[in-house]
Amino acid sequence: ETVMTQSPATLSVSPGYRATLSCRASQSVGSNLAWYQHKPGQAPRLLIYGASTRATGIPARFSGSGSGTEFTLTISTLQSEDFAVYYCQQYHNWPPITFGQGTRLEIK
Amino acid sequence: QVQLVESGGGVVQPGRSLSLSCAASGFTFSDYGIHWVRQAPGKGLQWVASISNRGHNKHYADSVKGRFTISRDNSKNTVYLQMNSLRDEDTAVYHCSKEVFPLFGGDAFDTWGQGTTVTVSS
């Protein structure tokens, strides 16, 4: 099983600033990496797939990079609605499809 | 618009069974693989099971293998998750989700339902 490790567990950033979230895979997942935003009581929202392709309707302030085992999600200028939990997911070595444990992005 | 709606959750005793449904609309259902993902209270997302667009290929997490069965009826645009021998640790919100690209081969999920809550408790 490919273990996905996200860091940090919690990130405190002020609105208007940049947030950088990391995700590491225990073995190569190529570019088969997605990022999701999840708010309480809502369905998770796909932000990025293929490591760097923004999903339909996702603002340009969200960007993804990386390949192999190291990945980054960057939110360039944080808006109030961006504070949520973010998950990475690999779909290269499956089954099982695996998620990271999540990074909670909170307002500083 | 593309939509997935789960139903069938509830409170059930350990060892009993429950069946979840996921009704789809707004896309060509028979073209896409569908997955179930759950979130236990205070925990992260966990993939549970998947089924290919025609239903021929199915995969399960080790934690549910032999207890859960995924199936689909393309004439009804619905995927099912039959959950038997339920355990306390199966307590979670269960979401169904749709793959980004048609056919089936492991993919990101571009559409998720709101989820249905399953509580296993005596």
Q: Which amino acid would we find at residue A13?
A: V
- Give the pLDDT confidence of B56-70 residue by residue, as tens digits: 999 999 999 999 999
Measure in Å the smallest separation between the Cα of A88 and chain B Cα atoms.
10
pLDDT of residue B3: 97
Tell me the CB-side half-sphere exposure of residue B104, using CA atoms within 13 A: 19
Question: Does A56 contact B47 at a Cβ distance shorter than 8 Å?
Answer: no
Between residues B103 and A3, the one the model is more confident about: A3
Across-strand partners of A46? A36
Report the distance separating Cα A90 and Cα A67, nearest Å. Answer: 11
**If you count residue pairs, one on A and one on B, with CB atoms under 8 Å apart, how many are there?**
65
Q: pLDDT at residue B104 above 80? A: no
pLDDT of residue B105: 73
Name the residue among A43, A91, A98 with its Cβ closest to that of B108.
A91
Mean pLDDT calculated for residue range B37-47: 97
Q: Name chain A contacts of B107, Cβ cutoff 8 Å.
A: 49, 91
- Give the pLDDT confidence of A12-37 residue by residue, as tens digits: 999 999 999 999 999 999 999 999 99
Say if residues A89 and A38 touch (Cβ distance below 8 Å): no
Q: pLDDT at residue B11 above 90? A: yes
Measure in Å the smallest separation between the Cα of A17 and chain B Cα atoms.
26
